[in-house]
Amino acid sequence: MPSLILSTATRYLLPLMLLFSVFVLIRGHNEPGGGFIGGLVASTAYALYAISSGVEKARAALPIEPRYIIAVGLGIAVTSGMISMILGDPFMTSQWLDTVFPVIGKVGTPVMFDTGVYLVVIGVTLTIIFNLAEGE
C-alpha cells in the first residue's frame, strides 16, 4: 500500500536532492565531493521516487533512459582525456581554462571528467535499482 506521507515528501525532496547532487558535483573539484558522490545522491532521489510512486512513474520522470545516460557519461569522460592528447600532452593530463566563472570557479578537463562520472554513476545505479524493483 503506497504511503501518502512518503509520496508527498518525495515530491518535495526529489528536486532538492537533484539540486544538491549538482552542488556536490560542482563543489567536488575544489573540496570533498565530485561526480561519484553527486551521482549517488541523484540516484537516491530517483530511487526514493520509485519506492514511493512505482518504477513506471520513476522511469517516466527520468527524461532519458539510464543506458543512454551511461553512454553519454562515458563519452564525456573519454573526451576529457582525449583533449590533452589533442594538445600534445599524455592522456588524462589536466587542461584548464584561464577564465574563472562566478559560481563554478576554474573549469577544465577534471570538471568535465567528473561530469562524465556523475552521469555514468546515475545511469548504472538507476539501471540496477529499476531492474531489481521490476523483478519483484
Q: Which of 118, 127, 106 is nearest to 33 (CA)?
A: 118
pTM: 0.90
Contact yes or no for 9/49 (Cβ under 8 A): no
The amino acid occupying position 73 is G
pLDDT computed for residue 1 by the predictor: 58
Cell numbers found for residue 26: 560542482
The whole-number average pLDDT for the span 63-71 is 95
Region class of 36: left (phi > 0), else alpha (psi between -120 and 50), else beta: alpha
Question: Residue ranges of the domains in the chain?
Answer: 4-134
Residue type, 28: G
Task: Look at 18-22, 78-82, 126-130, 132-136 and tell me which has the smallest mean pLDDT.
Answer: 132-136
Range 129-134 average pLDDT: 92
Structure confidence at residue 3 (pLDDT): 84
Average pLDDT over residues 33-50: 94
Task: Return the pLDDT at 41.
Answer: 97
Q: Indicate whether 48 pLDDT > 80.
A: yes
Mean pLDDT value across the chain: 91
Please, which pLDDT band fits residue 9 given cuts at 50, 70 and 90?
very high
